[in-house]
Structure 1
């Protein structure tokens, strides 16, 4: 069940004015199906500045809203190894005991 609004009415009104002016800056939206969602949004008239491209952190497409605010539309990368990379829920981490048991060293 959703909680109360994140902003009081006065702050929400100010935020709406900033968004309408194009002064929001950048935003990030996450998706699990970037190719499918990209096609759906493009078919609905969203103008993308960049098609989905592979990046070290995942696959990203860029678009602007009708007020000029731009957004990163991203599918986060999956870790290919517990030793490096970023997983769907943040940086991959390996407990120290497993790291050292596997032959890891400090220096």
Structure 2
């Protein structure tokens, strides 16, 4: 084995670890909130409107949870869990569910 191939072999685990770290940082976390009233029409700090919420670490799970809340008759909003940016919603439980949520 040459000296160069030994160096490459030694760097492989570090590179794999670095790649996994970068991929973990790229995961987006979503917060799905289910409310009993339209979030757009609330004034002030009305209490008791948030029925439940769920945090999902990928789009598939976020979409599934949003659909589940909507089927139960709740207003649904989807936020970026890190920045609190509204990604989708509010979704009216009496209207058609959008084909694309997040």
TM-score by length of 2: 0.24
Which structure is higher in RCO with an 8 Å CA cutoff and minimum separation 6?
2
Q: Decide which structure has greater helix share.
A: 2
Larger-gyration structure (1/2): 2
Q: Decide which structure has greater strand share.
A: 1
